[in-house]
Structure 1
Amino acid sequence: MTIGQWYNEAHRALRTASTAMGRSRALAAADINAAVIARSAIYTQLARATALLVGGSPAAEAPDRARATAILARHGQSLTQLYVGLQAAAVVERQFPASPATAVAGPARSLRRAVDAVGVIGDILASHVPPGQTPRTPEGLAVRAGGGVQSGLADIARLTSAAIMIDIALPGWLDQRRGHLTEIYRPAAEAARWTANSRLSAVARELIALGRGQPRLHGLDVARPPLNPAPPVSTADDAVAAVSAARTWMWQNPSELTSVHLQLGTQLGLAVHVLSSTGDPTMIGGWRQAAIAAADLRATSPVGPARDTAAELTEVLRWLRSIGKGNHGEPAGRHLQQVSRLNSELPIMAATLHKGLSAALQRRDLFVKDEGVLQRPAGSLVFRAAERWRPAMRDDDVVQDLVRALVQGQDADSRSEHRSPSSRAFPLPPRPRTPVSGAHWAGFDPPSGPAVRRSR
């Protein structure tokens, strides 16, 4: 499931809990304990997601409520105010015993679902932008460059507004008209009243307004490794997950890419553009040129995770080919909308293959066919042409053709009018001008002009 799906799950759960609190009163102690614990956990998880989005804590330390009130009263610091407000809202001046899941019902159960959903959002972000580390994926690079961050903060602000509705209802829900219970849960009620009466809701509205019309992160999913065996692909969701896993591994391990990955990746780009209803003839030609050039390269066979990555791409290609032929007599056009979802993966795939190509050339692990030589076997009067291979060089025609096509795949797709929200959130990742994981991009820009095979 993607961040967008988990966001919707969290929002539904918070609204359900808020509605339930307004219609009833708390009864069992287990439900009350679970609800107040989950309420704090929601704010903690929202603060964690905020820090992951922006690359670190927006505030030096977690202030008490008095200090948080002063910070929330400022103007022009909405990000810091959101983070400080979330941290302060999570604080309850008493620890309540945890309740087993089987004993929890009503609003508390919905609040626990919301905590789990927001926690998964944070886990997905952490798989791309781990705290204190460099981004692990192309999406992570784009997020660190600002792609989708504003809309992500707006989503967190919307969930914050929904959580504040819980705090508005919580004191009344806790009111048992019993002296000892009122005193036991007074710290929870005070925390809820502080949040409901603070400027946190106004800060959330400011961030929601700033995020309107911005590229969204809803298509972001966890960065999983390639699996062995490769899962079967039968839907567009399966295909997107497989392609994402494959090119994420290739991005993280450019030194292990082989000609097989270049061939499968370029064939994938060609197949998607040919089958997609938004296929651009120019882009079809570019990916076709890339596939032709990659087919002329050879390398050692992939092993381990590299082999698993190739298997994931092979399975996606099998699914695409079955769609192109039509399954059970169905028209191929019925699946075009599904296939077009893969378009958003292609710019990053092209950038990943470009990076891997550079690394393979540096370690001299790609080979091209050399000029043949005539050899006469012993005892024969007939000369035969012997096939010879040599390490590929940057100035080889086939390498230059592949470079041009991959650069076209990055740049043209990133400007397409038919980009999906994910594609707009993740534009072309920054091209490093310094060595990255052994891959030098400097001096690797292709010459200008059409991608025409030059004669020797």
Structure 2
Amino acid sequence: MTIGHWHSRAERALRAAATAMRQHPPDSAADINAVVNARSAVYAQLIRATELLAGGRPAVEELDRAGATALMTRRGQRLTQFYAGLRAAALVDRQFPPSGSRVGAEPARSLRRAADAVGVIGDILACHVPPGQRPPTPEGFAIRRGGGVSSGLADVARLTSGLVVLDVALPGWLDHGQGHLTEIYRPVAEAARWTANSGLARTARALVVAGKGQPSLHGLDVARSPLEAAPDIRTVEDAVAAVGAARSWLWQYPQQVAGVHLQLGTQLGLAVHVATSDGAPTKVDGWRRSAIAAAELRATPPVGPARDAAGELAEALRWTRSHLTDGSDGNNRELMRLNAELPFLAATLHRGLSAAVRRGDLFIKAEGTLTRPAGSLVFRAVERWRPARSHDDLVQDLGRGLLERRDLENAGDLARAAARAFPRPPRPRSPNDQPSNPPTVEATPSRGRGHSR
């Protein structure tokens, strides 16, 4: 399930916790311990998600509440202030024992659900942007270059605002307990009062405003590896998962991209756009030119996971073509959901095309020759193939088509998906690196390349 799904679950859980805190006073120390520990767990997961989105710790030094208060009174440094506020809010001056496996207090159960949901969000992000490593997926590549980061931080800030609302009510909830419990949990009440008055909610609101209209990460899900054999596709969700698995693996291992991936990927883009273009010839023609160029290439067959990736693309293509004969609006709306995958797929194939040309695994037709077999009066045409080179017209046509599909597809949706956050190709370093007219195949910055294990 996607980040958007888990974000909604976390929001509902925080609202339920705040409502339960007003309706259910604590009955025992175990109930309070459960709430305190669950609250700390939510803050810990929000801190982790912020670090993953920011690519590290925005505030390197450890700050206590006094230091965080001083930092949050300054102007600017909004992300640093937010991160420092989260860490300070999570500080409780006394450790409390964990509660039993059966949590009785309703606020604690809701807070635990919120912590689990935010934890899954962090797991999804870590799948694409693992700490200290190169991004293994196109989504991670886009996030590391800013795609969806502002929107993702806004989502974390919304959850933080909900948690601050709970902290506002937490001291009063603790006061409903017996007198000795109120004294025991005074450090918790002090931490909650600091959070309520620290300006963390104000900083969170500023991040929410900054994230409006930015590419969203709500559609981001865990990237799985290609399966062998490719699972049967019955729904559009299955198709999206299959395409995502194939292009994520091929992005991580561009040296494994083969001719069959180029052919299946361009045919899939063409099939989706034939069904969803509403008669717009420019979109269909672009994918058609790419598919025609890819069909003219020959290559060695893939093996291992590369073969499995081809199987996933082939199954997605089969399912898409099965819907081409049915022009109903429902099917077209389903196929439109595959459009979000196509820019990433085009970028992955464009990157793999360059690698395949460099290692000499793609072949194009050379000029044929006429030969006369011994003892024969008839000359026969012999078909010849040679390794493709980056300046060949066929390779240039395919590279140009994929580059256009990557950058320009669905321009109206650019603000709504991190899939559109790829940077434009860099300028050539020297005149020999790139011809003056057509773009070369090598257009993706080398720092974003994956590496095999």
Q: Same fold (TM over 0.5)?
A: yes
| Counterpart Cα distance in 2 of 1:218 and 1:445 | 40
Residue 443 of structure 1 aligns to a residue whose secondary structure is: coil
Give the aligned residue type for 2:238.
Answer: D
Q: Does 1:78 align with 2:72?
A: no
Partner of 2:405: 409
Indicate conservation of the 8 Å contact 2:53/2:149, yes or no.
yes
Letter in 1 for 2:184: I
Range with greater deviation from structure 2 (381-390 or 225-234) = 381-390
Contact 1:432 1:441 in 2 (8 A): no
- Give the deviation of 1:285 after TM superposition: 0.6
- Partner AA of 1:75 in structure 2: R
Q: Which residue of 2 aligns with 1:166?
A: 166
Native 8 Å contact 2:103 2:109 kept in 1: no
Which consecutive unaligned segments of at least 5 residues does structure 2 have? 440-453
> Which amino acid is 2:422 matched to?
L
Q: TM-score, normalised by structure 1?
A: 0.89
Question: Displacement of 1:181 after TM fit?
Answer: 2.2
Identity of aligned residues (%): 62
| Rounded Cα–Cα distance in structure 1 between residues aligned with 2:236 and 2:259 | 26
Matched, 1:367 2:347: no
Give the distance between the partners of 1:220 and 1:445, measured in 2 at CA: 37
Whole-Å separation in 2 of the counterparts to 1:31 and 1:126: 32
- In the alignment, which residue of structure 2 is the partner of 1:389? 385
Q: 1:332 to 1:133 in 2, by over 3 A?
A: same
Q: Deviations over 1:37-91 (max 9, x none)?
A: 1101111211221121122211122211111111122222221110000001111
SS at structure 2 position matched to 1:324: coil
Aligned partners of 2:369, 2:4: CA distance in 1, in Å? 59
- Correspondence for 1:145: 145
Q: Return the offset for 1:214.
A: 2.2
Q: What is the one-letter code of the residue matched to 2:306?
A: A
1:120 aligned partner, one-letter code? V
Query: Counterparts of 1:31-70 in structure 2 under 5 Å?
Result: 31-70=31-70
Q: Distance in 2 between matches of 1:233 and 1:101?
A: 40
Aligned length: 439
Q: Secondary structure at the match of 2:299?
A: coil
Alpha-carbon RMSD: 2.5
Deviation at 1:410, TM superposition (A): 2.1
Amino acid at match of 1:107: P
Deviates more, 1:5-14 or 1:103-112: 103-112
Q: Which residue of 1 aligns with 2:442?
A: none
Aligned partner letter, 1:205:
R
Say which SS state the counterpart of residue 386 (structure 2) adopts: strand
Superimposed CA distance per residue, residues 1-60 of structure 1 (whole angstroms, 9 cap, x where no aligned partner): 111111111111101111111111122444322221110111121122112112221112
1:427 aligns with 2:441: no
Residue 342 of structure 2 aligns with which residue?
Answer: 346
- Over 3 Å counting, the alpha-carbon distance change for 1:417 and 1:446 in structure 2 is farther
**Structure 1 gap ranges (5+):** 450-456
CA contact (8 A) 2:29 2:181 kept: no
Amino acid at match of 1:344: A
Which letter maps to 1:443?
A: D
AA aligned to 1:256 is Q
What TM-score comes out, normalization by structure 2 length? 0.90
Separation (CA, whole Å) in 1 of partners of 2:312 and 2:395:
25
Task: Tell me whether 1:121 sits opposite 2:121 in the alignment.
Answer: yes
Residues 403 and 446 in structure 1, CA contact (< 8 A), matched pair in contact too: no
